[in-house]
Amino acid sequence: MMDENPPGVSLQEILVAEDVAGFLETLSGLSGMPFVLCGPEGTVLATFAGNGLVCDAAVSVRKDDGQGSCPCEGLRREYEEYGLVQEIRLQDWRLGEIRCCLKNHPDTGKARQSIQLAAGWIHDKITTGYNINSLSSEILNKYEELNLLYELSEEIASVFDTKEICEIVLRKALNVIGAEKASILLWDPGRERLRVMASFGLPDEIDRELEGDHDGGVCGYVFRHGKPLLVEDVADLPEGMSQGKGGYRTDSFLSVPLLASPLKVKEKVIGVINLADKPGEKAYHAGDLKLVSAISSEAALSIYNSILIRDLKENERIQKEMEIAETVQKNLLPRRAPEIPGVEFAGRCLPAKQVGGDYFDFFPDSEENVGFVVADVSGHSISSGIMMAITRGLLQSEAVQGKRPRRLLQDVNRILYDDLVSSELFITMVYFLYSPGTRRLAYANGGHNPPVLLRAENEDPELLDADGMAIGLLPGVEFEEKEMELSPGDLLVVYTDGLVEAENARGKPFGLPRLLDRIREDRHKPAAQILQGLLQAVWGHIGGPDPQDRQQDDLTLVVLKATS
């Protein structure tokens, strides 16, 4: 519904100006016709009559009955019968009208032109005043808006805590516009929902309801569409949407998205600002929406940057913890191979990331026997590294008891089964037990890559396989144990799948044939040189200036070389 007068425009104030009154008085004299100027409800505002005018009816019109009347019935009828009315309007506003009496006027056409001229001149005068007032108001509003944004930017410039920035922004919005209930929600990608970061006038249960209403509620609608929502009445909400159970006093509220534009590339919706229950039971209007949108634009980038800083700090913390975990894990691996009569050992583990799931170890006992293991925990993440550490502790306690390979893998599977299932992990593992006195080597395999044995008198390597399943797949598993005697010059290579699956730039894996060829080529070298030659072959296949950076999986090698 339109106001009675346009903002900043008063017909009566304009008419008291000397130039307006002088013009109408002069026009009345020139046309020989009196003018009566009335407001939109018929209220007489002013009368103008030039010298020698005879229409006392027009001059005497006054507001007695809301329509204007003459002092006597006869004159009133003459005024109505011979009266002429010209409406004065500005856009959609009806400001009033000019009346005149045509009785005794010799030229009706001239009279009509005169009254139209008077109405047109007044209209132009009002339009000029309205435009000036509108421009002044716009300039003032723009100044106030710029001042508001300057104050806001100054206040949040040195703040990097996301929650504190949101509280400052919400406080500023409440000071400028006013609301009995307000909130700022930000998108939490980890929880995949909007989360309340600052609120005013909302009890805890309503805060929780807002967080849970990110799919079908007002907040979720504004967040998904990235468009502000100004509601004067909840009946005007988009179909299928409700305001919620906030105990709101009025039906008017507004919700504005927080749009950040990093590097001015693409706007990113990071949250929502909500205001409800404007003081005085008034409805929010377009001006309020404009201000909140300006506040949102100013605040969004600061909030976005604070989130990036927070994530950066979190990444730095995680990186530091990863470096500590890497150091701890390296300390869990054997620093040197044991010195056992009749054999040479060499071992190396290279995680694809700082913390991996590969593991190897040696377990010499008091009788100079030595057990050794190569294992691969699925994945190469923190959880894999933790499980590797748990497995190491268990293996050390089981191996010192002198258990045979078959029994050892059975017990490890039984003890670790529940932990592996709950962690959704499994372990492939091959365990050897070597007895220097008899030169016998026994082993059992739990789903691991078959080790490679190259006998001194043979040219073709053989793959050592034994029946068994990966640790953690079934609670009760039987493992096959096999045994052999080593002769001088025999070579055993145990590896994880990261070696044979290492890919070059074209996606082609290193593969078992290349491994076997390299073993044949280096078979006469010491164990440490054979191990290093295999690693060099893998890195050469991967290619690039730093092939270890392109390593996709953990890589572990243990080499045993039988000597005389």
Element containing residue 392 per DSSP (H, E)? helix 382-399
**Alpha carbon 23 to chain centroid, angstroms:** 65
What is the C-alpha separation between 121 and 130, in angstroms, rounded?
A: 14
What is the C-alpha separation between 182 and 194, in angstroms, rounded?
A: 15
Q: Locate the domains of the chain by residue range.
A: 11-133, 158-311, 333-562
pLDDT at residue 213, rounded to an integer:
56
pLDDT at residue 69, rounded to an integer:
43
Q: Any idea which residue has 């609120």 for tokens? A: 199
Sequence-ordered strand ranges (E) for 12-139 = 35-38, 44-48, 83-90, 93-101
pLDDT at residue 521, rounded to an integer:
94
What is the C-alpha separation between 465 and 206, in angstroms, rounded?
A: 64
Q: Name the residue type at position 420.
A: L
**What are the pLDDT tens digits along the chain (564 aa)?**
444 556 555 666 666 566 777 787 787 777 777 777 777 777 777 777 764 443 444 444 443 443 444 433 443 444 455 577 888 777 777 777 888 776 666 677 777 788 888 888 877 777 777 776 666 555 555 555 556 666 667 677 667 788 888 888 888 888 778 788 888 888 888 778 888 888 888 776 665 556 655 566 788 888 888 888 888 766 666 665 655 555 567 778 888 888 876 544 466 888 899 888 888 777 888 878 888 888 888 788 888 888 877 777 777 776 776 677 677 777 788 888 888 889 999 999 888 766 677 889 999 876 778 999 999 988 766 778 888 888 888 998 888 788 899 999 999 999 999 999 988 899 999 999 999 989 999 999 999 999 999 999 999 999 999 999 999 999 988 999 999 999 999 999 999 998 999 988 888 999 999 999 999 999 999 999 999 999 999 999 988 777 777 777 888 999 999 997
Q: For residue 254, how many C-alpha atoms fall within 13 Å in the half-sphere facing its CB? A: 24
**Check: CATH 3.60.40.10 for 333-562?**
yes
Query: DSSP state, 235?
Result: G
**358 in Cβ contact with 559 (< 8 Å):** no
**427 in Cβ contact with 436 (< 8 Å):** no
Query: 11-133 adopts what CATH topology?
Result: Beta-Lactamase (3.30.450)
- CATH of 158-311 among 3.30.1490.100, 2.80.10.50, 3.30.450.40, 3.40.50.720: 3.30.450.40
395, 561, 372: which is closest to 471 by C-alpha?
Answer: 395
Q: Is 202 left (phi over 0), alpha (psi -120 to 50) or beta?
A: beta
Q: Cα–Cα distances in Å, from 527 out to 337, 502, 557, 561?
A: 11, 22, 11, 6
Domains 11-133 and 333-562 share a fold: no
Q: Is 240 left (phi over 0), alpha (psi -120 to 50) or beta?
A: left
Burial 62-93 (b: 16+ CB within 10 A, else e): eeeeeebbbeeeebbebbeebbbebebebeeb
Structure tokens at 71: 């002092």
**440 in Cβ contact with 483 (< 8 Å):** yes
**72 in Cβ contact with 79 (< 8 Å):** no
Structure tokens at 561: 């070389």
Own/partner contacts of 190-194, CB < 8 Å, gap of 24 or more, are 194/219, 194/220, 194/223, 194/271, 194/272
**426 in Cβ contact with 387 (< 8 Å):** no
Structure tokens at 284: 């929010």
What is the C-alpha separation between 447 and 479, in angstroms, rounded?
A: 10
What is the C-alpha separation between 482 and 451, in angstroms, rounded?
A: 13
pLDDT at residue 3, rounded to an integer:
47
Angle, vertex CA 344, rays to CA 343 and CA 346, nearest 5 = 145
**Alpha carbon 3 to chain centroid, angstroms:** 43
